[in-house]
Structure 1
Amino acid sequence: MTGRSWLRGLRARLLVAFVLVTVLGAGAAAWSSAGSASRALVATTEQRITETAADRVGAVAPELVYPPDQGALDRLRAAVGGNTLVTYRGMRSAGGSRTGLVTGSLRSAVRDRNRPVTQRITAHGRPWLLVGMPVMITAPDGERTPSGIEVYSVRDLSGVERRIDGLAGSAVATAALALPPAVLLALLAARSVLRPVRELRDTARRLAAGDLDARSPAPGADELGELTATVNEMAESVQSSMDAMRRMQADARRFAADVSHELRTPLSTLTAVMEVLATAADRMEPDDRESAQMAITETRRLVTLVEDLMEVSRFDAGTARLRAEEVDAAGAVRDCLRARGWLDRVELEAPEGAVLRLDRRRLDVMVANLVGNALRHGEPPVRVRVRASRRQVRIEVADSGPGLPGDVLPHVFDRFYKADPARTRTPGSGLGLAIALENARLHGGDLTADTAEGGGARFVLRLPRDLEDL
């Protein structure tokens, strides 16, 4: 299996799906936890900074004199810490280089709400927390009123951001750590799921190869078990059907062979009688002579049919044997045409020297069947060409008729096949092309049919030069 086809396989898809679901689930859970922890960390830090600033302001506020002077504002700023801004009307006390980060919106919110207000901003590539709060005056009756003093503190959140980044990195690491177990679990799951599928595949391959005894063990009562049981039932049905078909084919072949064998003796006697009748036909009355000629023709056709049936039965039974000898292809083809009186009806192109080793009698049968078929069903001229290469001899028989229609071509070598069932009776047995194909295969060659470019049916016989090459 190639890498690309493996990636498209069911195993790869199961592995990828399982690993993705596991890793994404672990990553999502870790990321969600990291997010919650990050938000909690920011909120806690913000609350701590705000409370610290409020405590320091509360510790100094009772000592202040209202309205405050500049010294009071400076003491309050020093108590809160660095990067702090304290204002009272037009007075201000600032310490640290980051007090300029205090925004107008924060100052407005402090004045409007009269309570501590926080704001997070990013400046100079770093996160900052701005805390603003008013200093309140508590009356003896407990009433609290704004004093007009406002305290603003700027605190760096870079440390918090680093801790948040660490949490995110932990989430990624958690997802990465989940990958090896996910792959292992995916392999185990895929193995348990795909084992019945592989067994079904192997069973199907064995069935396709002809092993009708192939069966798959049922893995259980799930869907795969039901599928396996269905495949086994199908295989059982196919095996029963094939066994029945083989028995019928064997019976038919045995019947044809037995009938052909039993007919040989009476046909031999009948042939002898017909030969005597043929010699006496010239002395008969016209009507009797016509009847005698018809009987002679039909007897010869019957003899040919029986001989062809016996030949086919030998092929079916696997008892056909070759009697190989050195044969000149051109001479053998020419002798075949001469013996049947076809030399003047066929255009022969056969260069000498194409010697091959084969059964001469079977070559004569093949050429006679091909040429006879062309003469009966094609149109003249009929051409026979012999070509030889280093490893094979090619014999082409073509006629000038309409050729082979597309629906006829797949069946041209079928036994007893007729392209036109309504055509008149011909002297052939309907087995000639089938016998020619069987003889070609017996020699390790092949026989093909098609329609030539210029029209007309064309049969090409290919035979190896030496039977030892088989």
Structure 2
Amino acid sequence: MRLWPRGLRARLLVAFVLVTVLGAGAASWSSARSASDALVVTTQQRITQTMTDQIRAVTPQLTYPPDQATLDRLRAAVGVNTLVTYENLRAGAGGDTGLVTAALRTAVRGGERLVTQRITARDRPWLLIGTPITVTAPDGTQTPSGIEVYSVHDLSGVEQRIDGLTRSAVVTAALALPLAVLLALLAAGSVLRPVRMLRDTARRLAAGDMDARSAPHGADELAELTVTVNEMAGSLQSSMAALRQMQADARRFAADVSHELRTPLSTLTAVVEVLATTADGMAPDARESARLAITETHRLVRLVEDLMEVSRFDTGTARSHVEEVDVAGAVQDCLRARGWLERVEVAAPGEVRLRVDRRRLDVIVANLVGNALRHGAPPVLVRVAASPGQVRLEVTDGGPGLSEQVLPHVFDRFYKADIARTRTPGSGLGLAIALENARLHGGELTAGNASGGGARFVLWLPRNPEVAS
């Protein structure tokens, strides 16, 4: 499951809020922690100082070695929850004084200074204070008296105050949340506004509006990015305009050349037809040259016709003359006209009626079947199938099929799979023209390989085509 938001706006908001809240929380927690430590230290110093003052006030009045009355008097001067010991004598034993630990006793007996210890007992915090009593001689020297004073103090009140400081830190962090959200919204809006403008500009450019631009604001990185995008759009606009001009010039050149070649080719065709009738009476070398000239002339005529057809598609001037056609019958007529009936098998469910341009359907079938006969192997099969919405025509052969290198380029213009076959009868435009004719009828033409091997071309034509007429 993806927990982190995907949108840039949402991520900015979440990141800004997290940083602000965590920062406020960390600052509040640090302040509360420092205040808590200071409170504990101050309380401990106050208690120890009070205990020290009380002991100093009564110490000169004590008798040494002390008796039980002396210990009781010292305990009363220090206060409740106090334990005073001297050898086997005890004053104030019991109650909370039972919390005095052995570690504290050892520390007090091993030195001449006041010792403190904080413990937790009975689910409450406690401060333990222990100090030895020393006797000061007239010359100022101090000797241990053997008296030990231990005091136990409940720190529950201090802990409550610390809890209050912690709650205040939490409340402070919580109060920072709405402010952080508001600031995040303002920051995200100011940061993302130029980004949205760039996005809209990019969409307009992608849709073909080469005049789309974004106005830069400010002098930050986003403004620099906006200027760069505008420069890129200007460069792209210039390149697209030059490319369109080059394409238009190329189409016009092909159309003009094809048109200009029609008249001399018609004359040349008539000449080679006459030459064909007399070729049999020529010498072998002359007859071979004549037949080659006839073949190349016919190939040149087909190439020019294909070029003119392609130029019509490119310029959008290709038109269809739609009529009610029996697709199965049209396939048979196409094969019969080219002498392919004996070499191609047709599988059709009977009469399949479809509104289509008969001439363009004939071109599609001729190109697909001719391609199968030239580059495939028997058997070549044409299947016709119909459904309520479309008619499907499939052409398969028994050849090696289309390789992975050839398949993406099957419908490219002038593409030939075998570069060694540069003199094949085809112009390299047949399949491209077949695809354009299929799309002119609102259909589609695809290429692939049959499951049992061999190339497989499938033509889909809709029942209700929207074609240019």
The 1:154–1:287 alpha-carbon spacing in structure 2 relative to 1, beyond 3 Å, is: closer
1:6/1:12 contact within 8 Å kept:
no
Task: Note the C-alpha offset of 1:338.
Answer: 1.0
Name 1:243's counterpart in structure 2.
241
Matches of 1:116 and 1:458, distance apart in 2: 101
Decide which of 353, 356, 371 is 1:355's aligned counterpart: 353
Aligned partner letter, 1:320: A
Aligned partner letter, 2:411: F
Decide which of 16, 20, 33 is 1:35's aligned counterpart: 33
Q: CA RMSD in A?
A: 2.6
Matches of 1:270 and 1:246, distance apart in 2: 35
2:442/2:466 contact within 8 Å kept:
no
Matches of 2:438 and 2:134, distance apart in 1: 116
Structure 1 residues 50-73: Cα deviation after superposition (integer angstroms, max 9, x where no partner): 222233333443443333332332
Name 1:181's counterpart in structure 2.
179
Name 2:78's counterpart in structure 1.
80
Secondary structure of the structure 1 residue equivalent to 2:262:
helix
1:82/1:96 contact within 8 Å kept:
no
Name 1:271's counterpart in structure 2.
269
Name 2:327's counterpart in structure 1.
329
Name 1:451's counterpart in structure 2.
449
Task: Note the C-alpha offset of 1:438.
Answer: 0.2
Is the aligned partner of 1:430 residue 2:421? Answer: no
Matches of 1:452 and 1:214, distance apart in 2: 47
Name 2:149's counterpart in structure 1.
151
1:7/1:13 contact within 8 Å kept:
yes
Matches of 1:420 and 1:333, distance apart in 2: 28
> Please, which moves more after superposition, 357-366 or 133-142?
133-142
Report matched runs for 1:414-429 at 5 Å.
414-423=412-421, 425-429=423-427
Matches of 1:171 and 1:469, distance apart in 2: 74
Number of residue pairs matched by the alignment: 468
Secondary structure of the structure 2 residue equivalent to 1:98:
helix
Matches of 1:368 and 1:469, distance apart in 2: 21
2:441/2:467 contact within 8 Å kept:
no
Is the aligned partner of 1:52 residue 2:50? Answer: yes
Matches of 1:289 and 1:87, distance apart in 2: 142
Name 1:131's counterpart in structure 2.
129
1:84/1:96 contact within 8 Å kept:
no
Aligned partner letter, 1:241: S
Aligned partner letter, 1:134: P
* Structure 2 runs not aligned, ≥5 long: none
Name 1:26's counterpart in structure 2.
24
Structure 1 residues 227-257: Cα deviation after superposition (integer angstroms, max 9, x where no partner): 3333333322222222111111101111111
> Please, which moves more after superposition, 265-274 or 330-339?
265-274
Matches of 2:126 and 2:64, distance apart in 1: 32
The 1:208–1:5 alpha-carbon spacing in structure 2 relative to 1, beyond 3 Å, is: farther
Structure 1 residues 145-170: Cα deviation after superposition (integer angstroms, max 9, x where no partner): 44433322111111111111221222
Aligned partner letter, 1:205: R
1:358/1:466 contact within 8 Å kept:
no
Matches of 2:230 and 2:303, distance apart in 1: 44
2:325/2:356 contact within 8 Å kept:
yes
Name 2:390's counterpart in structure 1.
392
The 1:297–1:109 alpha-carbon spacing in structure 2 relative to 1, beyond 3 Å, is: closer
Task: Note the C-alpha offset of 1:342.
Answer: 0.9
Matches of 2:103 and 2:449, distance apart in 1: 94
The 1:143–1:421 alpha-carbon spacing in structure 2 relative to 1, beyond 3 Å, is: closer
Aligned partner letter, 2:178: P
Task: Note the C-alpha offset of 1:206.
Answer: 3.1
Secondary structure of the structure 2 residue equivalent to 1:271:
helix
Q: Determine what percentage of the aligned residue pairs are the same residue.
A: 77
Q: TM-score, normalised by structure 1?
A: 0.91
Matches of 2:378 and 2:284, distance apart in 1: 33
